[in-house]
Amino acid sequence: MQEILLKKEYIYSGDLILVNYEHELKKQISTYNLVQFDENYNDILIDYNLNLALQKVLKKINANDKIIPVSGYRTYNEQKKIYDDSIIQNGEEFTKKYVAFPNTSEHQTGLAIDLGLKKKKIDFIRPSFPYAGICQQFRETMSYFGFIQRYTEPKENITKIASEMWHMRYVGYPHSEIMLENNLCLEEYIDYLRNYEYGKSSLKFKNYEIMYLKMDKEEYKIHIDNNFMVKISGNNVDGIIITTKRMI
Q: Which one of the listed residues 3, 140, 164, 187 is annotated catalytic?
A: 164
Q: Burial, 56: exposed, middle or buried (Cβ in 10 Å; 0-12, 13-18, 19+)?
A: middle
**CA–CA gap between residue 34 and residue 204 (Å, rounded):** 31
Q: Is 133 left (phi over 0), alpha (psi -120 to 50) or beta?
A: left
153 is catalytic: no
**Sequence letter at residue 234:** G
Q: Are 113 and 48 in contact (CB under 8 A)?
A: no
**CA–CA gap between residue 214 and residue 116 (Å, rounded):** 38
Residues contacting residue 52 through CB under 8 Å, at least 6 positions apart: none
**Alpha carbons within 13 A on the beta-carbon side of 237:** 20
**CA–CA gap between residue 182 and residue 15 (Å, rounded):** 19
Q: Which residues are catalytic?
A: 164
